[in-house]
Chain A
Amino acid sequence: GAGVSQSPSNKVTEKGKDVELRCDPISGHTALYWYRQSLGQGLEFLIYFQGNSAPDKSGLPSDRFSAERTGGSVSTLTIQRTQQEDSAVYLCASSPGGQSYEQYFGPGTRLTVT
């Protein structure tokens, strides 16, 4: 079946502009995660959605970052007033929920802030 998809695959933006990154999770998965991965670094947790519960935003690095998940499916990560340090690969993952916790990742969006 279809895996997690993300768009765009690459995004180049000027410092100070806003960007929106989209994630389409695997159909039926109740949990959705956003991570950031800088060059040669590990995964940095950003935000977690589980069903209709309030999201866990504890990983968001600043109030310039926000995310929403509409209808328990598609999610959008928004970065306002982008800075050069926001340049990274943004990865989305979904998980079946219930008694299954393994995460399935999308290909990522490579964001470059110039």
Chain B
Amino acid sequence: QKEVEQDPGPLSVPEGAIVSLNCTYSNSAFQYFMWYRQYSRKGPELLMYTYSSGNKEDGRFTAQVDKSSKYISLFIRDSQPSDSATYLCATDNYGQNFVFGPGTRLSVLP
């Protein structure tokens, strides 16, 4: 079992839809959770990070962590074509073991 699992997609949604992106992880030692957005031929861009269970909101983006089920989610409200990218989840144990998911490719269709 991989340490972080993520559906690679591709996921296609119409503009304005709510997008749900999800990851599961296996190591309960992971304490820090991040979401990155990567446009084609660019480096990953940090979107959000959190180290607690619950929700964290930033504009149209909400990150959700459920440590009891080892499940992390990113919700995008009012999705835009400019949100089309690959989304990577990542987990870490206080800098000891940084692990990325394989990424989900999202297309938001105008």
Contacts and interface: CB of A to CB of B under 8 A. Distances in A.
Interface of A: 4, 31, 33, 41-43, 45, 48, 50, 91, 93, 95, 97, 101-108, 110
Contacts of A107: 42-43
Interface of B: 32, 34, 36, 41-46, 49, 88, 90, 92, 94-95, 98, 100-103
Q: Which applies to chain A's interface (DSSP): helix, strand, loop or mixed? A: strand
A101 B44 contact: no
Contacts of B36: 105
A45 B44 contact: no
Contacts of B42: 107-108
A42 B103 contact: yes
A101 B91 CA distance: 10
B32 A105 contact: no
A11 to B, nearest CB: 15
Contacts of B102: 41-42
B1 to A, nearest CB: 15
Contacts of B98: 33, 45, 48, 101, 103
